[in-house]
Amino acid sequence: MPPKTIEEPARHIPIYGEYEVVVLGGGPAGIAASVAAARAGRRTLLIERYGFLGGMGTAAGVTNFCGLHANVHGEMHRVVQGIASDLLARIDRLGGLNAPHLVLCKILAQAYDTAAYKIAADDLMAAHKVDLLFHALGAGVVMRDEGRIDALMVETKAGRQAVRSEIFIDCSGDGDLAARAGVPFEVGDNDGGMLYPSMMFRLNGIDPVKAGEAWRTIPALMERAEAAGKHRFPRKGAIVRPQRSGIEWRVNFTQLAGPDGRAINGLEPEQLTRGEIGGRRQAVQAFEFLRTVPGFENSYIVDLPPQLGIRETRRIVGDYALSSDDVLGCASFPDAIGVNGWPIEAHVAGDVVFRFPPIPQSRGFNELPYRMLLPRGIDNLLVAGRCASMTHEGQSAARVSGACFAMGEAAGVAAALSLSGNTSPREIAVEKLQQVLKQQGAFIGRGQAVPEGL
Ligand SMILES: Cc1cc2nc3c(=O)[nH]c(=O)nc-3n(C[C@H](O)[C@H](O)[C@H](O)COP(=O)(O)OP(=O)(O)OC[C@H]3O[C@@H](n4cnc5c(N)ncnc54)[C@H](O)[C@@H]3O)c2cc1C
């Protein structure tokens, strides 16, 4: 039988640079983490596999911020502030930000233009002197000892390179760095089933007057089309909404499963390949139906994003795992570093199931404990964003952009505090972290007055 593995010879790897803070992944968490660390005066490098920032928000065509707002006793408030506010203002100045819109009559979301997001994120990095390394895939680690990372290995067009740092922050969404360093992680529910991915796309050429509020009528039209045997849809709960210009709409309609009916696994290249091709095929099928909706007759697919939208892969095991009870019960924590106002949003087979904290009885947001950013077993690593320490259901809520910005900002400040105190992130004074976050304009809960306005 031919061997199943080959041995790669050992080699000397050039050192790209030595930093105080290295952040892997430039989504909402990584953007906020790197700005926070650099703003505290730390030499910071943000490494991203693509040539632009935004994470799923740009690379997967999400084009919509959720979780920036909370429904506080029936009133809407923007509860994620801080670095997210700076980024939003920059997107707005480029003319790329929509006014917030209601979702399910219960919560707000806010659409944006991907080009504006990319440009605004570049500007934000430059303003805070974050070093950037694009087109570099984090591919391995070299450990200083069992509990400390010495260098992150990246694969680039120039070959493999090493980046040394005092502190690392994993914002890869997939927990790539943490997993390579040996941090324990979980994938999916108790049975390994993950939230289903979707291929987002955008349509242009829509007649905005004729289309009106088509997002309200589309679900019934879908049911009718299925009942008539004209179309079959991979899921209910389609989201079809206008972007800033009413002639352009985003479509969140698809759901990608493997032959066994389970969610495509975003950690397996063969499944990802199947998901990308299947996603584009489903986009065309969705488009064939959408062209029958009044106002959409002359529309066309203007954008299919660079990659399939992955909602969930690894979630690291940290000092605390945020749960669905925490989300639905609007939990408070002594070590709160930010808040999440988005409900449980479970992308299950054939459907999307939302569960909200009671409205208007509840305050509509849970606090995010610092402990969910602290991975087991590694001293100089923080993990922020959708791969932070959460249960499967907890992650279905706090994975959205708002909470990821909040987690990232806290991780960046915590990294800087740990460097100035010459201690590990686990040992920093959490009160100091909370104080700095508040001074910088973040809302962390803990009895702080809820910010007014949207
Ligand atoms: C289809 C879909 C629809 C969604 N809809 C919404 C929505 O409407 N609103 C909302 O707020 N959220 C939505 N979400 C969720 C949200 O977009 C993500 O959960 C959020 O972007 C997570 O932020 P993050 O920073 O943790 O990770 P990500 O956004 O996943 O960013 C991770 C970044 O790390 C990079 N990266 C990964 N691995 C490596 C590596 N090894 N080396 C180098 N770089 C690496 C990636 O390229 C990426 O840029 C949606 C998600 C999907 C998939």
Ligand 1 centroid to residue 402 C-alpha, Å: 12
pLDDT at 68 over 90: yes
| Cβ of 395 below 6 Å from ligand 1 | no
* Digit-coded pLDDT (tens) for 216-238: 999 999 999 999 999 999 999 89
Closest atom of ligand 1 to 399 CA is 19
User: How far apart, in whole angstroms, are the C-alpha atoms of residue 311 and residue 105?
Assistant: 23
| Cβ of 367 below 6 Å from ligand 1 | no
One DSSP character per residue, 9-36 reads PP----EEEEEEEEEE--SHHHHHHHHH
Most informative mutation of 31, 135, 172 for ligand 1 (most atoms within 8 A of CB): 172
pLDDT at 260 over 90: yes
User: How far apart, in whole angstroms, are the C-alpha atoms of residue 323 and residue 392?
Assistant: 8
User: How far apart, in whole angstroms, are the C-alpha atoms of residue 286 and residue 222?
Assistant: 10
pLDDT at 190: 86
Most informative mutation of 23, 24, 53, 62 for ligand 1 (most atoms within 8 A of CB): 62
pLDDT at 160 over 90: yes
Pair 382, 169: CB distance under 8 Å? yes
The CA distances from residue 398 to 67, 326, 401, 443, in Å, are 8, 11, 8, 16
pLDDT at 72 over 90: yes
pLDDT at 339 over 90: yes
Closest atom of ligand 1 to 137 CA is 42
What's the pLDDT band for 155 if we cut at 50, 70, 90? very high
Residue (of 410, 39, 99, 72) closest to 241 by Cα position: 99
pLDDT at 192 over 90: no
Tell me the average pLDDT of the chain.
97
pTM above 0.85, yes or no: yes
| Cβ of 407 below 6 Å from ligand 1 | no
What's the pLDDT band for 2 if we cut at 50, 70, 90? confident
Residue owning the nearest CA to atom 16 of ligand 1: 400
Mean pLDDT, residues 191-205 taken together = 96
Closest atom of ligand 1 to 310 CA is 53
* Digit-coded pLDDT (tens) for 26-59: 999 999 999 999 999 999 999 999 999 999 999 9
Mean pLDDT, residues 332-361 taken together = 98
Percent of the chain with pLDDT over 70: 100
Ligand 1 centroid to residue 385 C-alpha, Å: 8
Mean pLDDT, residues 119-136 taken together = 98
Closest atom of ligand 1 to 402 CA is 11
What's the pLDDT band for 17 if we cut at 50, 70, 90? very high
pLDDT at 129: 98
pLDDT at 109 over 90: yes
Mean pLDDT, residues 249-275 taken together = 97
User: How far apart, in whole angstroms, are the C-alpha atoms of residue 137 and residue 25?
Assistant: 9
Closest atom of ligand 1 to 198 CA is 1
Q: Which two tokens stand for residue 56?
A: 């799923």
Ligand 1 centroid to residue 361 C-alpha, Å: 32
| Cβ of 309 below 6 Å from ligand 1 | yes
* Digit-coded pLDDT (tens) for 242-252: 999 999 999 99
Q: Per DSSP, what are the bridge partners of residue 103?
A: 107
The H or E element spanning position 434 is helix 430-439
Reported in sequence order, the residue ranges of 370-448 that DSSP labels E, i.e. its strands, are 381-383
Ligand 1 centroid to residue 426 C-alpha, Å: 26
pLDDT at 246: 94
Say how far residue 189 (Cα) sits from the centre of its chain.
19
pLDDT at 393: 98
Residue owning the nearest CA to atom 5 of ligand 1: 62
Ligand 1 centroid to residue 229 C-alpha, Å: 35
Mean pLDDT, residues 341-366 taken together = 97
Ligand 1 centroid to residue 27 C-alpha, Å: 6
